[in-house]
């Protein structure tokens, strides 16, 4: 009769392998926690960087679109150059408010 009558399952072999690899690497459990947290921090930083870059590209495209609309409007207004600059400035402000919404 065997002393240990439990079946050797997958998880037993998995954790034994993990423990053996960690021991072979020469790192303690605390050091492995630091390594895993450093990897997690690097992944979060990379995700934040990529998300911010995507957001800035979208903002840049929106700004370029707004500039083109304003440029087209002002080009159309060049025909009516005899109007006062205050009136044109108010119209441009109104158009910019409409584009911003």
The tens digit of pLDDT for each residue in 54-81 reads 999 999 999 999 888 888 877 776 666 5
**CB distance 74 to 92 below 8 Å:** yes
**Quick check: 1 pLDDT over 60?**
no
Q: Is residue 87 a part of any domain in this protein? A: yes
**Range(s) of the domain holding residue 32:** 25-100
Rounded distance between C-alpha atoms, residue 6 and residue 48, angstroms? 47
Among 49, 52, 92, which residue's Cα sits nearest to residue 73?
A: 92
Q: Is residue 32 a part of any domain in this protein? A: yes
In the chain, the number of structural domains is 1
pTM here is 0.52
**CB distance 69 to 96 below 8 Å:** no
Q: Is residue 70 a part of any domain in this protein? A: yes
The tens digit of pLDDT for each residue in 28-47 reads 878 888 999 999 999 999 99
Q: Is residue 56 a part of any domain in this protein? A: yes
Q: Is residue 8 a part of any domain in this protein? A: no
């Amino acid at each position: 009769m065997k002393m240990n009558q439990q079946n050797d399952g997958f998880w037993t072999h998995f954790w034994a392998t993990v423990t053996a690899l960690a021991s072979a690497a020469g790192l303690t459990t605390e050091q492995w926690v630091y390594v895993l947290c450093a990897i997690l921090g690097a992944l979060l930083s990379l995700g934040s960087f990529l998300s911010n870059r995507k957001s800035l590209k979208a903002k840049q495209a929106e700004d370029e679109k707004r500039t083109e609309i304003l440029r087209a409007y002002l080009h159309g207004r060049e025909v009516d150059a005899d109007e006062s600059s205050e009136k044109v400035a108010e119209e441009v402000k109104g158009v910019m408010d409409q584009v911003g919404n």
